[in-house]
């Protein structure tokens, strides 16, 4: 334990002051581009662990206006467009949280940088379809608010090694749409580069990078998002005053990650955490329950599905009924009856599933008609 704590690399752990000011609104953008892990030679492997949905719930419950951009079909254009929009629409008094989760690969040769892989990309199209972490940091700086936080929840796949090292030949291949073959080589985790960027022009951030070995040991990814979610939900409120200060959140996240990494004996070379946050920011205050925030999210999705005639009115009403029963059971600390529990399990599986909207909606309709 002691050896691990001494060796675990916490880069750029610091805080910077911000003058006290009333906020006029709280906003969050959640982007997860890592539901499927790209591999060389076209192999794609699903690695579980995505806290995006529950992070949306807890932020919404604490008064944030949340935009959730799901990974399926996510493109470089879509990611950057949402970042530009966030930068152009906010005011100085607002509070902003941006979460970016997924896989990153470093391009260490001529066009260096660490690229965040989007769902429509591949290792071969890394430089054209990927989003560089420097781009995210630069756009985040342009958001004209004082209280803002960038969450980077990264699984670092390694360094891209190209079959052809001659850059001119590589460019010719790309112009003819014949992309060079790419393999991955193990490299050092990339947060040092991010910390250097922050030192030149401070970016308030909580960033975690895991190696594939660490993610395999954990059996999942999204460790930072899960820790932030739990902190905002109330576990990080150390003095139990109903207000989560940024300093309390950082302490909780750091302790949570160290504890989890220690439990499964992750090597210090396979994990890095970097923090730089405002030290006087009330990130969250006591608000509505997380369960009620999830209820509203589910109801909005169900209304859309019904409007598109993907589900019937009777299925929407059955789902609404079980959502109300689920919220009451949590607030009264009583169990759902077996029939309601069965329907809740079916509903939750379809709301949080990885298939597209049409497939999930029609499957929900079929199962509800058949079983309930």
CATH label of the domain that carries residue 174: 3.40.50.1460
Do 119 and 228 belong to one domain?
yes
Do 186 and 226 belong to one domain?
yes
Given 285, 301, 325, the domain boundary residue is 285
Q: How deeply is 110 buried, as exposed, middle or buried, from its count of CB atoms within 10 A (0-12, 13-18, 19+)?
A: exposed
Whole domain around residue 326: which residue ranges? 290-371
Total of domains in the chain = 2
Collect the ranges in the chain with pLDDT lower than 50: 1-7, 9, 12-23, 41-46, 176-178
What span, in angstroms and rounded, lies between the C-alpha atoms of 198 and 369? 54
Given 268, 285, 302, the domain boundary residue is 285
The per-residue pLDDT of the chain, averaged, comes to: 78
Do 318 and 281 belong to one domain?
no
Do 51 and 98 belong to one domain?
yes
- The pLDDT of residue 365 is 93
- The pLDDT of residue 287 is 64
Do 268 and 297 belong to one domain?
no
What span, in angstroms and rounded, lies between the C-alpha atoms of 308 and 150? 35
Residue 269 DSSP label? G
Do 121 and 199 belong to one domain?
yes
Other CB atoms closer than 10 Å to residue 10's CB: what's the count? 15
- The pLDDT of residue 1 is 41
Do 204 and 322 belong to one domain?
no
- The pLDDT of residue 7 is 39
Q: What is the pTM of this model?
A: 0.74
- The pLDDT of residue 315 is 93
For 133-270, strand residue ranges (E) read 147-162, 182-185, 205-210, 243-245
């Amino acid at each position: 334990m002691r050896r691990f704590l001494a060796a675990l690399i916490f880069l750029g752990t610091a805080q910077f002051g911000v003058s006290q000011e009333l906020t006029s609104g709280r906003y969050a953008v959640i982007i997860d581009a890592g539901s499927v892990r790209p591999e060389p030679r076209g192999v794609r492997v699903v690695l579980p662990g995505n806290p995006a949905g529950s992070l949306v719930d807890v932020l919404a419950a604490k008064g944030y206006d949340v935009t959730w951009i799901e990974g399926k079909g996510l493109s470089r254009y879509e990611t950057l467009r949402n970042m530009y929009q966030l930068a152009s629409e906010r005011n100085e008094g607002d509070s902003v949280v941006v979460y970016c989760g997924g896989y990153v690969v470093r391009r260490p040769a001529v066009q260096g940088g660490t690229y965040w892989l989007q769902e429509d990309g591949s290792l071969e199209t890394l430089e054209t379809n990927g989003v560089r972490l420097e781009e995210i940091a630069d756009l985040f700086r342009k958001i004209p608010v004082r209280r803002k936080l960038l969450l980077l929840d990264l699984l670092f796949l390694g360094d891209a090694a190209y079959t052809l090292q001659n850059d001119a030949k590589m460019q010719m291949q790309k112009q003819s749409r014949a992309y060079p073959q790419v393999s991955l080589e193990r490299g050092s985790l990339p947060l040092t580069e991010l910390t250097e960027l922050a030192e030149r022009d401070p970016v308030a951030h909580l960033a975690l990078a895991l190696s594939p070995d660490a993610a395999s040991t954990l059996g999942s990814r999204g460790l930072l998002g899960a820790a932030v979610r739990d902190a905002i939900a109330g576990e990080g409120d150390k003095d139990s005053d109903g207000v989560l200060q940024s300093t309390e959140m950082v302490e909780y996240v750091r302790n949570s990650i160290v504890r989890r990494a220690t439990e499964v004996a992750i090597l210090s070379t396979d994990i890095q955490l970097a923090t730089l946050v405002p030290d006087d920011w009330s990130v969250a205050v006591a608000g509505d329950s997380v369960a009620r925030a999830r209820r509203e999210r589910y109801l909005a999705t169900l209304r859309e599905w019904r409007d598109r005639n993907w589900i019937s009115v009777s299925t929407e009403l059955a789902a609404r009924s079980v959502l109300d029963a689920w919220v009451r059971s949590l607030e009264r600390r009583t169990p759902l009856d077996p029939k309601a529990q069965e329907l809740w399990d079916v509903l939750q599986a379809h709301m949080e599933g990885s298939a597209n909207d049409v497939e999930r909606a029609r499957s929900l309709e079929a199962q509800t008609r058949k079983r309930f």
